Chain A
Amino acid sequence: AQSVTQPDIHITVSEGASLELRCNYSYGATPYLFWYVQSPGQGLQLLLKYFSGDTLVQGIKGFEAEFKRSQSSFNLRKPSVHWSDAAEYFCAILSDSNYQLIWGAGTKLIIKP
């Protein structure tokens, strides 16, 4: 069965530092992968998606993610975080059985001033 794992429940980084949030998935074929962000008190917003093609995808708010088939990973990165990036980040994969999203548990990003 397909699944998504976000190993880190919380991550704390200093403002201006680089960020990498980890996401691992289990799936045999090429997955459809997503990163969503949930700012405090808000709904989720799509940051970026990977369907096929270039394995480095660019998203909104200066985020990017790299699909690595050999590592079954789709890690989210940002070169320099801002205090406004404090939020919870969710990785998800599209199920090939019923076309619903399978969600990771989320990683809460805390920004130190």
Chain B
Amino acid sequence: EAQVTQNPRYLITVTGKKLTVTCSQNMNHEYMSWYRQDPGLGLRQIYYSMNVEVTDKGDVPEGYKVSRKEKRNFPLILESPSPNQTSLYFCASSLQILAGGPTGELFFGEGSRLTVL
């Protein structure tokens, strides 16, 4: 089954304790992206990756890191989480076939709800 898998789905942690949210897709998609969703603020892009070893900042990259060492995986790293990073996080992937960029047809994971105390 084609899917984007995120782990963990739920996590409560404390300020400053490094954590990683994993994201894996089995569709051989070149493009992957991380979003956070907050009430009243909609979806905001954190980082994206057009291909292996290529990552770019989105709209709200501060406090996050990513890496893309393999095509299928795109982990989101919070080196020193703070309470303002409490949010619902989504990973998404897409084929990259439209003029060098993603098609806009994104496949989303089910989300990871993170609480930082």
Interface size class of A (residues with CB under 8 A): 20 to 34
B33 contacts across to A, CB distance below 8 A:
100
B49 CB, min distance to chain A CBs, angstroms = 12
Is A90 an interface residue when CB atoms closer than 8 A count as contact? yes
Interface size class of B (residues with CB under 8 A): 20 to 34
Please report the C-alpha to C-alpha distance between residue A100 and residue B44 in the assembled complex, in whole angstroms. Answer: 11
Interface window among B13-21, B65-73, B78-86, B103-111: B103-111
B107 contacts across to A, CB distance below 8 A:
46
Please report the C-alpha to C-alpha distance between residue A104 and residue B90 in the assembled complex, in whole angstroms. Answer: 16
| A/B interface sample: 16 pairs, CB < 8 A | A32-B104, A43-B4, A43-B90, A46-B105, A46-B106, A46-B107, A90-B42, A94-B101, A99-B98, A99-B100, A99-B102, A100-B45, A100-B102, A101-B106, A104-B42, A106-B43
Closest 8 CB pairs of A and B: A99-B101, A43-B108, A94-B104, A105-B42, A44-B108, A103-B43, A43-B110, A43-B109
